Amino acid sequence: MSAPLIPDLFAACKVLTGAIIWVVNQIVLAIAIVIPPFRGLAEWLGSDPVVTALTWLVVMTVMLLWATLVNLLTVMWLERKLYSRLQDRYGIMVSIWSLPFWPFNRKDRPTHMGLGYLQNVADGVKLLLKENLTPRDADSAMFHMAPVLIAASTLMIFVALPWSSGFYVVRLDLNLLFILAAFSLAPFGILMAGWSANNKYTLVGGMRAAAQLMAYEIPMILCVIALVFTTGSLDVFEIVAQQERPLVDLGLFAIPAWNLFGPQILGFVVFTVAMMAEMERIPFDVPEAEAELVEGWTTEYSGMRFGLVFGFKWLRMVAGSALIAILYLGGWTGPVFATFQVGGIAVPIVPEELWFILRVWLLSMVFVVVSWSVPRVRIDQILQIGWKRLVPFSLLAILVAAGAALVGWGP
Amino acid sequence: MPGFWINMGPQHPMTHGLWNMKVKIDGETIIDARPELGYLHRGYEKIMEVREFQKNVVLTDRLCYVSSLTWSHAYCLATEKMMGVEVPERGQWIRVVALELQRVASHLMWLAAFAPDLGLLTGLLWSLRERELFLDLIQILSGARMNQNFPRIGGVRNDLPDNFAAMCRRSIAHFLEKLDEYEVLYHESKVFHMRTQGVGRLGAQDAINWGVTGPNLRASGVNVDLRRLDPYDKYDEVDFEPQVWKGPDPGDSYARFICRYNEMRVSCDIILQALDKMPASGPYRSKPPRRAEGEGYARTEDSRGEALFYVLGDGDDRPYRVKIRSPIFCSMAATPLMLRGNKLADVVSILGSIDVCVGEMDK
Amino acid sequence: MSAGSVPSVNGRPVKGVETEVLAQVKARFGSKILESGIPRPQNVKVVIDRSELVEVCTYLKEALAFEHLSCISAVDWKDRFETVYHIMNYYNGCTIQVSARIPYDDPRIASVCSLWNAANYHEREAWDLMGITYEGHPNLERILLPQDFKFHPLRKDFAQEVDRQYISRRKLKGGK
């Protein structure tokens, strides 16, 4: 059976917030010795509504940091290293000794023989330091709003996307619907960005993006419908819990009933292809086609605005991989090989979070290998694939799933 | 929306050089196209009139900097014809080896530029890795990787270094293995076929009429290779097969790609044959006269097509007039034919398959 | 984009064809040829006056199958201009060099764009750099130099600023 490392994120953060508020309260109470009215402030800070509100803030920050600082940076690093090795070169190799402050600014260590993990941080800092240009005739409000929309809608996914059975911000009943809806907000931002920059290249790029993303959301949603035949609910927790039951018992271990093994295999293939197009990865990255349209719809962005739209492409890859892992690959379920006791709390050795991260990162790397091995597909060919091939296949998947449900497949 | 003109270039990651292509698009379809040249015009023909004959080789190297040996060699051939100078046999064989090495390096550079245009960035790194093999060989032979100043009027600058044949054989064996690996990336990739087949068609009659030469012409089905049709140096003693597209669909980007790709293999074969057939020793250079009068022209099969030099002398130690005919200059005139009717995304596929080198186009 | 038929070219030169070609050209045009010769195998050289150009080129293209126009060069001989055409026959590998003489004070000549479209860019370049007008050219404007450039640089009277090292000894001593 699987067990999470953090059984309840809200409770854990509440403890953390309580601790912080206690520390602050001590200072306030110390001041209150001199100025009596501050005692009311201490009471108010310690009261339940305030603690709850601050806990929510802390939970959201933890999830944001987890998604961006840990996952985004690591997936970006993995991608850059992996495709560099595909191309017969080392890849990013900046080492921790290249940092310019003590204790890392030693002269006797090489600055570029390391892991390269800090390269993405350095790129982010570089983008922050660049000048933010706005084209003169651009529609200023839309131009500035578009990256915010893309970033915000992508981060909204992580509100509802759980990383284990306890590590989530909010538990909604219709989790999946919310995640898919948040995924689909980004095309608005892309179209806004492409149109508002007053540039022929970005306009063409934005239009292409809108056409492509619209074409590929249909098969995605149809595959989810096919999935609902098996699972019977749109709750992510329910879907993952159902995939924990054993499908075939081989004595030594059991093959779990992932949705991948079964009639949903067609849905899995279609969903993955549609997800690759949604994430705008090569072979489907025509909106941002570097060779033809300079940078496509992101041409006019500079500085951190560019960093936002560029970096959030990776975050959407993480979210997309997470979605595929949840729906078809069993989510965060996996055997806990052992637990050990830490002061009365049972800590699993291989917790659910680890299984989930493993699946997400491995899926991302599969996408990376595919991306860097094939050329780009032309936009009209992309639309042909989307409408003429994926939609019929997803309808077929619905048919197969319905047939299987009729026969009695499923929990 | 009605057609509007869009500028692809002069600052564009696709153009691989400084030139501009205006295309008129209606949605995604190209209605018309107009290339704009001359951004890199350096006034070569005028400069070459005030430099001595041999010193012009430094300039002709930089005409097409990716394939510099072939251009300097063409100039030396033309000047030799004007002066009536005879190149010794070993010199001619060394020229053949150097030219074919340069041709493979130039084609690899083309591949390294073509693949990322289509989105296949891995192709860039792999092609450049193989190009290093040939650049190393050229460096051992002539002392420089690019702009080598190697051909001389009357021969070549120096003899082959010791053990050059063994080095060539080892590099070529390694390269041919890698070429088989590339087939997985290009020939077996359905997406690559989707991007290059059927786009940018140029019929054979159109190609001949508009002056397109080289692999672009052979891809349209016309069996013309100047190394065979109008042989120079020792090409008539080397046995090779010009790569002509014989399939059902001539003249599209895929045909051009296949013709150039196979030419790399053919060039390796020619190098190995030349190393075997070359006389073991002998003079490699003969002394040209200082001053010359007359006219001479020479055409060679450059990596991109037919390069023709027309050199006139009036008795001075400098040329009176040098005319440079660049294959890309003529192919550029035919690009509107190739582009009309295709989609905007095909511009990169078509222009990449023509192999543009702006240095020779603009002189 | 027209498919057209692919001409059957076998790609190998035919030996001895240059004497035949020269004989045919001389038979057709006789006295209009000012000079002619065979500089080396597979090459024919013919010098004509500018008024015969279209006739000669039409005969070469249609009767003798010289389908590939390689190059059009413009030369400034200080007392006359000359336009040199290098035309090749793909079927037998013969190249003919046609030089058309143009008087110095009237640099105009007929354009051969209607015969070979390859002449389009070459004639624009000759106009751009040398100043010879090609009558009948569809689009005679500057191609390599900027549109508002006023001179024709390749002419001999467009002086180059040269250092002493670039002036030949003959010119330094004799001044020509």
User: CA B75 to CA A31: how far, in whole Å?
Assistant: 91
Residue B10 preceded by cis peptide, ω within 30: yes
Q: Residue A75: what pLDDT? A: 93
A48 touches chain B (CB under 8 A): no
Provide long-range contacts, Cβ within 8 A and 24+ apart, for A343-347: A346/A3, A347/A5
Phi, psi of B310 (to 5 degrees): -125, 110
Residue C4 in domain: no
Per DSSP, B153 falls in state T
Residue type, A232: G
Give the closest residue to A272 by CA, choosing from A324, A317, A209.
Answer: A324
E-state strands within chain B: 4-8, 20-26, 29-36, 151-152, 155-156, 293-302, 305-314, 319-325
Over residues A338-393, the pLDDT tens digits come to: 778 777 777 888 888 888 999 999 999 999 999 888 888 888 888 898 899 999 99
Please identify which residue in the block is written with the tokens 């354009």. Answer: C111
Q: Are strands B29-36 and C108-110 parallel, antiparallel or unpaired?
A: unpaired
Work out the minimum CA distance from C61 to partner chain B, whole angstroms. Answer: 11
Q: Provide the token pair at C36.
A: 């002619």
3-state secondary structure A210-255: HHHHHHHHHHHHHHHHHHHHHHCCCCHHHHHHHCCCEEEECCCCEE
User: CA B97 to CA C104: how far, in whole Å?
Assistant: 45
Residue C73 in domain: yes
Q: Provide the token pair at A52.
A: 């709850």
The mean of the pLDDT values for chain C is: 85
A373 touches chain B (CB under 8 A): yes
Q: Which residues contact C97 (CB under 8 A, 6 or more apart)?
A: B297, C43, C44, C45, C46, C84, C85, C86, C87
Contacting residues of B for C142, CB less than 8 Å apart: 38
Total domains in the fold of chain C? 1
Give the containing element (helix H, strand E) for A185: none
> Residue A148: pLDDT above 60?
yes
Total-model pTM: 0.89
Inter-chain touch C6–B222, beta carbons under 8 Å: yes
Residue C8 in domain: no
Q: Which residues contact A181 (CB under 8 A, 6 or more apart)?
A: none
Q: Residue C175: what pLDDT? A: 64
Inter-chain touch C86–B310, beta carbons under 8 Å: yes
Q: Residue B164: what pLDDT? A: 92
Per DSSP, B56 falls in state H
Residue C3 in domain: no
Inter-chain touch C117–B306, beta carbons under 8 Å: no
Give the closest residue to B22 by CA, choosing from B355, B347, B253.
Answer: B347
Domain ranges of chain A: 92-129, 134-407
**Mean pLDDT across the stretch A17-34?**
88
Give the closest residue to A379 by CA, choosing from A296, A303, A304, A320.
Answer: A296
Over residues A174-219, the pLDDT tens digits come to: 889 999 999 888 888 888 888 888 877 778 778 888 888 888 999 9
Residue A284 CA, chain-centre distance (Å), reads 19
* Angle between helical axes of B346-354 and B89-118 (0-180°, round to 10): 170
Inter-chain touch B323–C84, beta carbons under 8 Å: yes
Residue C99 in domain: yes
Work out the minimum CA distance from A375 to partner chain B, whole angstroms. Answer: 4
Contacting residues of C for B323, CB less than 8 Å apart: 71, 73-75, 84
User: CA C43 to CA C41: how far, in whole Å?
Assistant: 5
Q: Residue B172: what pLDDT? A: 94
Over residues A286-332, the pLDDT tens digits come to: 777 655 556 667 778 888 888 888 888 889 999 999 999 999 988 88
Expressed as residue numbers, the domain containing C95 is 17-174
The mean of the pLDDT values for chain A is: 86
Work out the minimum CA distance from A89 to partner chain B, whole angstroms. Answer: 8
Task: Collapse the DSSP code of A12 into the 3-class scheme (helix H, G, I; strand E, B; otherwise coil) and give the result.
Answer: helix
Domains of chain B, CATH where assigned: 4-362 (1.10.645.10)
Inter-chain touch A285–B119, beta carbons under 8 Å: yes
The side-by-side arrangement of strands in the sheet containing B293-302 is B293-302, B305-314, B319-325
Work out the minimum CA distance from B343 to partner chain A, whole angstroms. Answer: 9
Residue A135 preceded by cis peptide, ω within 30: no
B221, closest residue in chain C (CA to CA): C6
Over residues C23-54, the pLDDT tens digits come to: 888 888 888 888 888 888 888 899 999 888 99
Contacting residues of C for B296, CB less than 8 Å apart: 39
> Residue C174: pLDDT above 80?
no
Q: For chain B, list residues whose CB is within 8 angstroms of any CB belonging to chain A.
A: 4, 6, 8, 12-14, 28, 115-122, 124-126, 129, 185, 189, 191-192, 194-195, 343-348
A88 touches chain B (CB under 8 A): yes
Pairs across A and B, CB distance < 8 A: 80
Residue type, B356: V
To the nearest 10°, the Cα dihedral for B171, B176, B181, B187? 140
Best residue in B194, B254, B343, B347 to probe A by mutation, most A CBs within 10 Å?
B194
Q: Residue A292: what pLDDT? A: 59
Q: Which residues contact C138 (CB under 8 A, 6 or more apart)?
A: C113, C120
CA diameter of chain C: 61
Over residues B275-326, the pLDDT tens digits come to: 999 888 889 999 999 888 999 999 999 889 999 999 999 888 889 999 999 9
Phi, psi of B301 (to 5 degrees): -90, 95
Inter-chain touch A294–B347, beta carbons under 8 Å: no
Best residue in B118, B128, B252 to probe A by mutation, most A CBs within 10 Å?
B118
Contacting residues of B for C160, CB less than 8 Å apart: 46-47, 49-50
Q: Residue B1: what pLDDT? A: 57
User: CA A100 to CA A111: how far, in whole Å?
Assistant: 10
Residue C43 in domain: yes
> Residue A8: pLDDT above 80?
yes
Binding partners of C (≥3 Cβ pairs within 8 A) = B
Share of chain A above pLDDT 90, in %: 24
Q: Are A216 and A279 in contact (CB under 8 A)?
A: no
Share of chain B above pLDDT 90, in %: 43
Give the closest residue to B122 by CA, choosing from B197, B181, B67.
Answer: B181
> Residue C89 is part of a domain; what is its CATH number?
3.30.460.80
Distances (CA, A) of A177 to A35, A220, A226, B149: 52, 12, 14, 68
Over residues A237-293, the pLDDT tens digits come to: 888 888 888 877 777 777 888 888 888 889 999 999 999 988 888 788 877 765 555
Beta partners for residue A246, in sequence order: A256
Work out the minimum CA distance from C30 to partner chain B, whole angstroms. Answer: 24
Q: Residue C23: what pLDDT? A: 87
Give the closest residue to B354 by CA, choosing from B344, B362, B343, B346.
Answer: B346
Best residue in A293, A369, A383, A384 to probe B by mutation, most B CBs within 10 Å?
A293
Q: Are strands C43-49 and C95-103 parallel, antiparallel or unpaired?
A: parallel
Q: Residue A4: what pLDDT? A: 82
Q: Residue C1: what pLDDT? A: 37
A368, closest residue in chain B (CA to CA): B122
Share of chain A above pLDDT 70, in %: 97
Q: Residue A207: what pLDDT? A: 82
Ordered per-residue pLDDT tens for chain B, 363 residues: 578 888 887 777 776 788 888 888 887 788 999 998 888 899 899 989 888 899 999 999 998 889 999 999 999 999 999 999 999 999 999 999 999 999 999 999 999 999 888 888 888 999 999 999 999 999 999 999 989 899 999 999 999 998 999 999 999 999 999 999 888 888 888 889 988 888 888 888 889 999 999 999 999 988 888 888 888 888 988 888 888 888 888 888 999 999 999 999 999 999 999 999 988 888 999 999 988 899 999 999 988 999 999 999 988 888 999 999 999 999 999 999 889 888 888 888 888 888 888 888 888
Where do runs of H (alpha helix) occur along C60-148? 119-130
Task: Collapse the DSSP code of A94 into the 3-class scheme (helix H, G, I; strand E, B; otherwise coil) and give the result.
Answer: coil
Inter-chain touch C67–B37, beta carbons under 8 Å: no
Inter-chain touch A378–B345, beta carbons under 8 Å: yes
C146 touches chain B (CB under 8 A): yes
User: CA B295 to CA B314: how far, in whole Å?
Assistant: 9
Q: Which residues contact C145 (CB under 8 A, 6 or more apart)?
A: B38, B41, C128, C129, C153
Inter-chain touch B337–C143, beta carbons under 8 Å: no
